[in-house]
């Protein structure tokens, strides 16, 4: 199962466990649980937490943001490994 399908499964789980959450809140909260830090830079016009009609824009933004976030994480990991090697 790919990561986006896992995300959609998590959204379904959030909606089942928290029926009081609106759809946009559930998608937002599932993304925050699955990818900590990813939503730190979400543009307001794509944030579905407070406005459900922004959900399509959020789902369009999510793969691009995830790829950029993963790239930043990989670069940070490489820098950290290189620094540890120098310290040894």
The three-point CA angle 60-53-30 to 5° equals: 60
Can you give the pLDDT at residue 1? 53
53-78, pLDDT tens digit by residue?
999 999 999 999 988 887 765 434 44
> Are residues 11 and 32 in contact, defined by beta-carbon separation less than 8 angstroms?
no
Can you give the pLDDT at residue 78? 40
Can you give the pLDDT at residue 67? 87
**Residue 44 pLDDT greater than 70, yes or no:** yes
What is the mean pLDDT of the segment spanning 22-28? 97
Distance from C-alpha of 67 to C-alpha of 62, rounded to nearest angstrom: 9
Neighbours of 62 (CB within 10 A): 19
Which of 46, 50, 2, 41 lies closest to 22, judged by CA?
Answer: 50
């Amino acid at each position: 199962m790919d990561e986006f399908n896992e995300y959609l499964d998590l959204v379904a789980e959030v909606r089942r466990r928290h029926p009081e959450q609106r759809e946009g809140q559930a998608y937002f909260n599932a993304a925050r649980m699955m990818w900590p830090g990813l939503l730190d830079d979400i543009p307001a016009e794509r944030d579905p937490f407070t406005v459900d009609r922004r959900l399509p824009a959020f789902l369009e933004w999510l793969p691009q943001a995830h790829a950029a976030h993963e790239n930043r994480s990989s670069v940070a990991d490489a820098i950290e490994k290189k620094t540890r090697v120098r310290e040894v």
